[in-house]
Amino acid sequence: MSLTTPILPLKPATRSVGFAADLALFADRAAIVTDGETFSYRDLAERVEALADRLGPDRRLVLLAATNTLDSVVAYLAALSAGHPVILVPGDKPSAVDSLRSTFDPDVVIDSGGGNGTPRIREIRAITSHELHPDLALLLSTSGSTGSPKLVRLSHRNLEANAAAIAEYLRIGPADRAVTTLPLSYCYGLSVLNSHLLAGASLVLTDLSVVDPCFWDLFRRTDASAFAAVPYTFELLERVGFADMDLPTLRYVTQAGGRLSPDLVRRYAELGNDRGWELFVMYGQTEATARMAYLPPALAAENPSRIGVPVPGGSFRIDPVDGLKDGELVYTGPNVMLGYAETSADLAAGRTVDELRTGDLARRHPDGLYEVVGRRSRFIKVAGLRIDLGRVEQILADLGVRAACAGTDEHLVVALEGDHEPGLLHKVLAPDLGIPRGALTMYSVEQIPRLSSGKPDYQSILALADPAPEARAPSVTLKEGPHDVRVILAEQLEVPAVDDDSTFVSLGGDSLSYVATSVRLERALGTLPADWHVRSVAELVEVAQRAAAKAPVRRRRFFAAVEASIVLRAVAIIFIISTHIGLFHWEGTAHVLMAAAGYNFARFQLQGERWHRLRRQLTSIARIVLPSVALILLGYIITDHYSVANIFLLNALVGPQEVTPEWHFWFVEVLTYLLVCVVALLALPPVARLERRFPFGFPLGLAAAGLLTRFNIVDLEVPNTAPALWLFALGWAVAKARRTAHRLLITAVALLCIPGFFYGDLAREMTLLTGMLLLVWVPRLPVPTVLQQLTVVLASASLYIYLVHWLVFPHLENLHPLVGVAASLVAGVLYWALVMRVPGLFRRWTPALTGHRRESLR
């Protein structure tokens, strides 16, 4: 592969940016794709032109609070096409907006409107009060910081040159489609937009995280071909099983925003080679618009520590640095900024720099590839010794500790991510570095604080040494509080670590742990969205903060709104055991639970990629089967009611035709059969793709197949229980229903198929129909506040109460049935509590099996 870097022909500086002004040239090609709509270049051009007309022909300073939405894209392009300089600020950082408004006094402020391409404009003044240099096009915060008064001044030529260079080496063409994984206010995220629009390609706008299964559903549904990643993204990709994902349209992955470890570069380069996509490792700074170098994918596996070659049109040199073996990397090219702006007076300045002194220490290898080996500003001098902070982080990484370091010439501060013992590491590190122990402080934090770009927030790390808690960043938690979301998830799911991008589902949560977790979270946060189980910790906290800001003063509540499926499970188990014990007679609720099982399967077991979710599905089946087998085995030993077939959950297949005690566990048996068959079916790649493509239609198809047994067109010869596949599948469809039309269709199926299901037992059929309609149409049901916790516990323990009651109440038959019901409920809850503790105990007893054994430091 050639390592030459041809110079691109560039247009002279103009007052507009070509890729923003010439959108209509690509006519009906797709430009922007959202979760529900596709906008052509012609559509985009019309919106941009309309907004540009509103901004007017006279240049004004525009501040855009940007989000990953069509509104922000239209506003950004309209300002560029009309020649208005834009200050780009993260739309989710009000403090950054306020800070930059105060410093630079923009003439126009724009933020997202309704999300349909018509952003909200607030005119401060009709004619600018600033002197704006003709070349000035864009102002960005430096190095991923937000709200800093020091902005990078970029010209129209900077933007076009860098977009053209990126499009050239990535070979972006009209068929390419990238998904947004980074904020558009961050230069890396913005460069993805610029380079794709310049090439006539398209962009999928989303703010979903890569840990969210919905992100990958969107990726496949839109036939995306690329996404951008920072080093932290790869940590998240590891967590969601990216290596096992089926992404047939993926063409390349780009990486920038910091150094990726050579091991990960090599591994992902080899993975891409095996899967048919390429990894582009890139190097850049905001001061160079975005990109300065890239590593050709064919060279990545063999040269994982290199940044590669300059981008087309750029060049490097290395200037010596006194006292250091390696010199400073200096970049020259048409994408080098005009200079910095720290006050509004700087907006009148033209070019004040011609080359970019990167501040990075680098070397050039004989093969022409460059390597960055350190950062001049990442050196401190403690007790006369020069300390390379990057090297300190690497030493700790070699010990298996993820850390980030900051410091001054008096003090080195280290943040240790996770549950590490600072004292022990301190004893190891201080002598190794040769510095006084008093000059080193180490802190164990839940998660290394990061900027919006994903880079470590070194100022927040440095502030850890400040004794005043208010000096620390909100994201830095030295000790968990009792109502912290991460603590709740860690305790409820028995997992050792939870970070801001974790979700209930990604941590292995299922229907058995959902109930108690949801109530604790609701108590801690005050509100929970319906899809909280697939939202990240950071999103849940943000939702709670917004709700708290709007909420009126709370009065004492006599009723609590509890999720309908939770109430149904609690009520159903009481009705089931009360009917069996003879307290009263009310049948039909067991089949409501079968529909609820399908509902919960779809919510918790269909997230993530093939192997990742298969693992979760098998774990969930085991959490049903193992406690059931253990309890039935006990019943087999102490009574003469059960057979060996019961122990292996085979009675429904090989047991007697007549109703006997051996049929006590039919619900667990049939549910297990359904889960095993569905999981085996979804393990087939074509079926899994079909389910992802038609998430609502797929379970409806299964329900249709199940109705063949419901109407005896197919006879499964499973006695004493009506066929259950169609109910399970219908519950599954409820979880995937996104529109009123979906819910109406499910309602129609229920109204048509439930009558006659129990051979004319009207009360039983009405119970099932009522339960199904509540599941479809009523998200939450009122429960007396005093009974809320009891409802939660009974719903959580419903399976275990069902299992245990067969062994409890026969010993209490001489007493009132109410005693048998109460005793069964208590025994079932105790068995549930025991079973829920087993995974955590197992992990603590066998750390080698779970990968959490800590290496001793010698």
Is a pLDDT exceeding 80 seen at residue 530?
no
The least confident of 77-81, 320-324, 581-585 is 320-324
Give CA–CA dist 599/593, Å, rounded: 9
Q: Which of 87-91, 188-192, 850-854 has the weakest average pLDDT?
A: 850-854
pLDDT at 562 over 70: yes
User: How far apart (Å, rounded) are the C-alpha atoms in residues 195 and 309?
Assistant: 19
Distance (Å, whole) CA 733 – CA 720: 26
More confident residue, 538 or 805: 805
d(CA 504, CA 482): 18
pTM of the model as a whole:
0.54
Is the confidence at residue 522, as pLDDT, over 90? no
pLDDT band per the 50, 70, 90 thresholds, residue 587: very high
Residue 163 confidence (pLDDT) above 50: yes
Distance of CA 67 to the CA centre of its chain: 17
Q: Phi-psi category of 83—alpha, beta or left, where left has phi over 0 and alpha has psi -120 to 50? A: left
Q: Which residues contact 844 (CB under 8 A, 6 or more apart)?
A: none
Give all domains of the chain, ordered by start, each with its CATH number.
Answer: 18-373 (3.40.50.12780), 383-471 (3.30.300.30), 485-555 (1.10.1200.10), 564-841 (no CATH)
Where in 446-514 does DSSP place strands (E)? none
**Vertex 611 angle, CA 605 and 616, to 5°:** 35
Q: Give the pLDDT score at 411.
A: 80
pLDDT band for position 553 (cuts 50, 70, 90): very low
Per-residue confidence (pLDDT) for residue 325, from 0 to 100: 81
Give the pLDDT score at 452.
Answer: 64
Q: Taking the alpha carbons of 147, 149, 154, 155 in that order, is the dihedral positive or negative? A: positive
Residue 494 — very low, low, confident or very high, per pLDDT cuts 50/70/90?
low
pLDDT at 557: 61
| Residue with tokens 């300065």, as numbered in its chain | 292
Residue 144: pLDDT band (50, 70, 90) is very low
Give the mean model confidence (pLDDT) for residues 486-504.
71
pLDDT (tens digit, 9 = 90+) per residue, 188-227? 999 999 999 999 999 999 988 898 888 999 999 999 999 9
Which segments within 666-741 are labelled E, that is strand? none
Q: How confident is the model at residue 1 (pLDDT cuts 50, 70, 90)?
A: very low
Contact 485, 524 (CB under 8 A): yes
Secondary structure (3-state) at 317 = strand
The larger pLDDT score, comparing residue 741 to residue 385, is at: 741
Has residue 842 got a pLDDT over 90? no
Sort 552 into a burial class: Cβ within 10 Å, 0-12 / 13-18 / 19+.
Answer: exposed
For the chain, the 3-state helix, strand and coil shares in percent, each to the nearest 5, are: 50, 15, 35
* CA–CA dist 355, 332 (Å, integer): 5
Q: What is residue 734's predicted lDDT score, i.e. its pLDDT?
A: 93
The predicted-structure confidence for 637-691, as pLDDT tens digits, reads as follows 999 899 999 999 998 888 887 778 899 999 999 999 999 999 999 999 889 888 8
Give 593-630 pLDDT, tens digit per residue: 999 999 989 888 886 666 767 888 898 899 899 999 99
Residue 216: how many other CB atoms lie within 10 Å? 23
Q: 475 falls in which pLDDT band (50, 70, 90)? A: very low
pLDDT in tens, 363-385: 999 999 999 887 777 777 675 56
**For residues 82-91, average pLDDT:** 93
In this prediction, residue 478 has a pLDDT band, given cuts at 50, 70 and 90, of: very low
What was the pLDDT predicted at 481? 33
Between 266 and 381, the higher pLDDT residue: 266
Residue with tokens 């275990």: 800
> What is the model's pLDDT at position 539?
74
For 1, 239, 448, 704, the CA distances from 475, given in Å and listed in that order, are: 44, 21, 8, 49
Residue 295 has pLDDT above 90, yes or no: yes
Residue 14 has pLDDT above 50, yes or no: no
Q: Is the pLDDT of residue 773 over 60?
A: yes
Q: Which amino acid appears at position 601 of this protein?
A: F
Q: Phi, psi (5° rounding) for residue 347?
A: -70, -15
Of the candidates 210, 283, 285, which has an alpha carbon nearest to the alpha carbon of residue 250? Answer: 210
pLDDT surpasses 90 at 822: yes
Q: What is the pLDDT of residue 472?
A: 47
